[in-house]
Amino acid sequence: MKHLQKYETNVLQYSNTQFVQSNCNSITFYNAGTSTLLIEQSIPLANGQTFTITGNENEICVKQFLITFTGEGNNNAIIVKKNYID
């Protein structure tokens, strides 16, 4: 029988420009605000849009992602990370 890898999900919310440390297997950026969410100054997400980066089994992404907000409106980024646990 194959060993099952356990993981947990963390849901985080951001409203300011900052770096977000991934340290996870997959990360999803969701723009729940009305201003445009920019990931790494090159991936724009309008309200309701998502962007996901997934890894293969037992991989971990260790990048810091810069998130910024443009335009007027409500800044609300929701980030969901999948982390392996022992």
DSSP assignment of 40-65 equals TTTEEE-TT-EEEEE--TT--B-PEE
Kindly tell me the burial class for residue 30, based on how many C-beta atoms sit within 10 Å of its own C-beta (0-12, 13-18, 19 or more). buried
> What pLDDT does 2 receive?
74
Domains of the chain, by residue range, sit at: 7-85
> What pLDDT does 5 receive?
87
pTM, two decimals, is: 0.92
* 86 pLDDT higher than 80: no
pLDDT in tens, 28-59: 999 999 999 999 999 999 999 999 999 998 89
> What pLDDT does 76 receive?
98
CB–CB of 3/57 below 8 Å?
no
Of the candidate CATH numbers 2.60.120.10, 3.40.50.720, 3.40.50.10320, 3.40.50.1240, the domain formed by 7-85 belongs to: 2.60.120.10
Q: How confident is the model at residue 78 (pLDDT cuts 50, 70, 90)?
A: very high
